Amino acid sequence: MRGAGLGYEGAMIPFVTSLRPPRAAAGLRRAAFAAALAMVASACGVFGGDDEAPAQPVSNQTVIPQPSSGGGAAGSEAAPANPFMWQATLETIGFMPILELDDLAGVIETGWYIPPGAPTERFRADVAFSSRALRAESMELTMERQELDDAGNWREVPVSPAVPTNLVDSILARALVLRQESGSL
């Protein structure tokens, strides 16, 4: 997010910084991920416009996947992230405002993001890494969704289970590409 004022470049470890794509490519990649999230969310009925309720909606928070008991410093606590997973996560959710980054604890917290086509909905995500493994199980992604009611108040609503699952899949796929590009197979 160069020039966006989010300031996460300084929080990145030097190894990850060397993996940053050129400015134009990074912007295109972020735009592509934002578009992919919008398409996935709209296909799942997250943005409305779909008369059918999403299959098996969960509570207002969706956590995917649960950290393994063997990962991290104390099992379920956050741990330093795999540098490829860290970079891929920042690239994937970087279109959301970043509130907190702690690469040593392996925590990323976003602010509320209002999709361009849905001003009455907003999303936020938190990511905590439980190990340095390059696996989906090494991260916990928590998403929240709110809708604006008629009185102008934000109320919690369920997140379609497909949205965080697809985000985790996108993060893992990008992390694998970053690892391959670095020659660390």
Share of the chain above pLDDT 90, in %: 54
**What's the number of domains the chain is made of?**
1
What was the pLDDT predicted at 48? 42
Q: What are the pLDDT digits (tens) for 161-178?
A: 999 999 999 999 999 999
122 part of a folded domain: yes
Is there a domain that residue 3 lies in?
no
- Is the pLDDT at 106 greater than 50? The verdict is yes
Higher per-residue confidence, 77 vs 184: 184
Higher-pLDDT residue of 110, 68: 110
3-state secondary structure the chain: CCCCCCCCHHHCCHHHHCCCCCHHHHHHHHHHHHHHHHHHHHHCCCCCCCCCCCCCCCCCEEEECCCCCCCCCCCCCCCCCCHHHHHHHHHHHCCCCEEEEECCCCEEEECCECCCCCCCEEEEEEEEECCCCCCHHHEEEEEEEEEECCCCCEEEECCCCHHHHHHHHHHHHHHHHHHHHHCCC
Residue 1 is assigned to a structural domain of this protein: no
- Residue 62 structural domain: 9-49+56-182
- 150-163 residue pLDDT tens: 999 999 999 999 99
- For residue 129, is pLDDT > 60? yes
Mean per-residue pLDDT over the chain, rounded: 72
- The answer to whether residue 4 sits within a structural domain is no
Query: How high is the pLDDT of residue 184?
Result: 73
Residues 24-77: tens digit of each pLDDT = 445 545 554 554 555 444 444 444 444 333 333 333 443 444 333 333 333 445
15 in a structural domain: yes
- In-domain check, residue 2: no
In this predicted structure, the answer to whether residue 84 has a pLDDT above a threshold of 80 is: yes
Say what the pLDDT of residue 179 is. Answer: 95
Q: Is residue 165 part of a domain?
A: yes
The better pLDDT of the pair 3, 135 is held by 135
Q: In terms of pTM, does the model score above 0.75?
A: no
Residue 113 pLDDT level (bands cut at 50, 70, 90):
very high
- Higher-confidence position of 97 and 103: 97
> Which of 15-19, 80-84, 102-106, 141-145 is least confident?
15-19
